[in-house]
Chain A
Amino acid sequence: MTDSDPVRLYRTVRLIRRFEERAIELVDAGEIVGGIHPYLGQEGVAAGVCAALRPGDLVTGTHRGHGHVLAKGADPARMLAELCGRVTGLNRGRGGSMHAADFGVGVLGANAIVGAAGAILTGAVWARRRRGDDVVGATFFGDGAVNEGMLLEAFNLAALWRVPVLFVCENNGYATTMPVDGAVAGTIAGRAAAFGMPTVTVDGQDPETVREATAAAVARMRAGGGPELVEARTYRFDAHHTFEHRVRLDYRPPEEVAAARRRDPVLIQGDRLPAADRAAVDAEVEATLDAAVDFALASPAPDPATALDHLYASGLTARTGGG
């Protein structure tokens, strides 16, 4: 199967969708503490972008980052174990939902400081290419992040030094409860264009559209081009964070949510498959997630005596806090 295989793209969006639904169940069951920022509704963006990348390419994700990590190829079982705070998790239970990282598949981490990851990824891609590695990067961020100065500084550095980083703005219309129109002067694409970057605004609900736009940008970047920006118009179907399941916040008209939910990336991609193929993928995803849940819940919690392990890569040990 090739990367453009519609089945493969469907498998990714379906996996993310069901992963998030299972994760929410585990939040409700008290197995995932601290809640999550569900990626529901935005699956087409991570799936489409990562389908156009190679395994060795690098990505950074966001606080709403499960989709990015899964789409880049992390093991769903170890990802779920991470959310449950188990030693078998991707980060050995040290990162959780907002910091899941898998350097082995090129995920330099979900990052919970809005707007912060773009500069990190730019430096990483620059350093790898300087060593002669043919890699490009994609850094995901929300519409809220475009008002963080450090991200705009990263736009400039990447463009100035022609570092092949795809800046992927997931414009889901809101930063928590703040609508884009109340926060962004000018346009998101216009900001990248001001640094001389090619930009494209696409329908983020269609995984194929996102993949095609990304593939075109990545091809230009691999041929020596500088950074580009893709603005994917999308919508989050669920809460900003699962705390909203308990505390209702009034900021999106119900009709708006209902209308947006009709453009569902999982259904859009699923409809492109013969029914039998689709059912086979669904069953496969379900089996994968059943196994993932079993694996996560059966995994041991980390030993409190190891709480400061990995604080220093140099082997330095920190004083503990007791009297």
Chain B
Amino acid sequence: MPRLSYRRALTRALADEMTRDGSVFLLGEDIRVAAASVTTGLLKKFGPERVLDTPLSEQAFTSFATGAALAGARPVIEFQIPSLLFLVFEQIVNHAHKFPLMTGGQCAVPVTYLVPGSGSRTGWAGQHSDHPYSLFAHVGVTTVVPATPADAYGLLVSAIRCDDPVVVFAPAGALDVRADVTDLAPVPLGRGVVRRPGSDVTVVAVGHLVHDALAVAGELAGQVSVEVFDPRTLYPFDWDGLLDSVSRTGRLVVVDDSNRSCGIAGEIIATVVERVPLAAPPRRVTRPDGAVLPFAPALDRAVQPGRDQLTAAIQLTCKDG
């Protein structure tokens, strides 16, 4: 079986969609030489007309992509740093996201914002280590955080084919994941997946944390039967899939690399408790409120949700009630 890396899965998705649909093109900083190792080989294959290196003008090229999308193209923007999304929040939210409604349905804005290396990159400190997916879920922009190579491929393909803007977070903590992949296929947006079945507690894990949750579930196997639910898309969220899981387990823990206040974990817990009676209070493991990732490795790790915290949260939740 061929081993596929997460990064190469992204490359394959871009190449396949560019081959399938001539309106797809890429733009970003240093993408012709594939500085982020995602656009590797694409310049040679598709030429400079479809692989555009931009000046360092995130705001202009993000709205340039909006305009191109309004005119029928399907741009994919690669961002070098997750924190750059703060620069272009205006362009994505005020324009790309709002245009269809504001114009009364006169247009579509099919742009994909690809962020390879989101979250902590270890040693990149405060301005390169953000994971702002909850912000996009909050404003209602389709937001995906694939955990595996197969999902990286399948969700990126679906993002490019979607008629609305989609932000694709490829967590730094997942970029080196490799997996045996037999067939690559589109993964539907808005559909989660149970990564490991269990009966005592549902753990919702986002992005790279899926792998931590699976490791913790394995370690706890003798004591607690943990079901790991990977939402894959944070907006629109697969509420049916999650409610089905929690209805069976009756317990909920969420592990999420967002800052705590107004992070997606809070929304997940709120929605579940509105709909399903739980046997014990739900818990969440997140970054702290207002987190800025400090530089020193031990500090960087201390601020990210960790396996020990997750283990403790699962044990407490299973003891309660």
- A residues bordering B, Cβ < 8 Å? 58, 89-95, 99, 101-103, 108-109, 111, 113, 116, 119-128, 130-131, 149-150, 153-154, 156-157, 160, 308-316, 318
Contacts and interface: CB of A to CB of B under 8 A. Distances in A.
Nearest to A101: B103
A-B complex: 8 closest residue pairs judged by Cβ atoms: A123-B67, A92-B104, A153-B60, A313-B108, A123-B64, A119-B63, A124-B67, A91-B104
B90 A113 contact: yes
Interface string B160-182: 00111000000000000000000
A127 B104 contact: no
Most buried by A among B60, B95, B140, B162: B60
Given A122-B64, A124-B71, A157 B57 contact: yes
Contacts of A101: 102-104, 106-107
Given A116-B90, A116-B91, A311-B140, A123 B66 contact: yes
A108 B91 contact: no
A306 to B, nearest CB: 10
A316 to B, nearest CB: 6
B59 A90 contact: no
Given A109-B99, A310-B104, A153 B57 contact: yes
Given A113-B95, A150-B59, A127 B67 contact: yes
Nearest to B190: A316
Given A58-B71, A316-B142, 4 more contacts: A95-B104, A123-B64, A150-B90, A310-B104
Contacts of A308: 101
Contacts of A311: 100-101, 140
A305 B126 CA distance: 44
Interface in B58-107: 59-73, 75, 90-91, 94-95, 99-107
Contact of A131 (B62, B72, B163): B72
A157 B64 contact: yes
A160 B215 CA distance: 50
A150 B63 contact: yes
B306 interface: no
A109 B103 contact: yes
A113 B94 CA distance: 8
Contact of A149 (B59, B109, B140): B59
A93 B106 CA distance: 12
B55 interface: yes
Given A120-B70, A314-B162, A153 B59 contact: yes
Contacts of A154: 60, 63-64
B187 to A, nearest CB: 15
Interface of B: 49, 54-55, 57, 59-73, 75, 90-91, 94-95, 99-110, 140, 142, 162-164, 190, 236
14 contacts: A58-B71, A94-B101, A99-B103, A101-B102, A103-B70, A103-B103, A120-B63, A123-B68, A124-B70, A150-B59, A153-B60, A310-B100, A313-B105, A316-B142
B103 A94 contact: yes
A127 B70 CA distance: 9
Given A93-B104, A313-B164, A119 B55 contact: no
Contacts of A126: 64, 67-68
Most buried by B among A102, A150, A315: A150
A120 B61 CA distance: 9
Contacts of B108: 313-314
Contacts of A90: 104
B235 to A, nearest CB: 9
Contacts of A156: 55, 57, 60
A312 B63 CA distance: 18
Nearest to A82: B104
Given A120-B95, A124-B71, A131-B72, A95 B103 contact: yes
Contacts of A125: 67, 71
A92 B105 contact: yes
B164 A316 contact: yes
Most buried by A among B63, B68, B140, B162: B63
A123 B71 contact: yes
A131 B25 CA distance: 13
B103 A318 contact: no
Given A119-B60, A123-B64, A103 B106 contact: yes
Contacts of B72: 127-128, 131
Most buried by B among A93, A113, A160: A113
Contacts of B162: 314
A33 B157 CA distance: 43
B107 A103 contact: yes
A59 to B, nearest CB: 12
Contact of A127 (B68, B94, B164): B68
B164 to A, nearest CB: 5
A116 B106 contact: no
B171 to A, nearest CB: 24
A120 B100 contact: no
A121 B105 CA distance: 19
Nearest to A98: B102
B64 A128 contact: no
Most buried by A among B67, B104, B162, B164: B67
Contacts of A314: 108, 142, 162-164
B71 A128 contact: yes
A191 to B, nearest CB: 14
B49 A94 contact: no
A109 B102 contact: yes
Contacts of A111: 95
A157 B61 contact: yes
Nearest to B162: A314
Contacts of B69: 123, 127
A132 B289 CA distance: 51
B67 A108 contact: yes
A313 B103 contact: no
Nearest to B140: A318
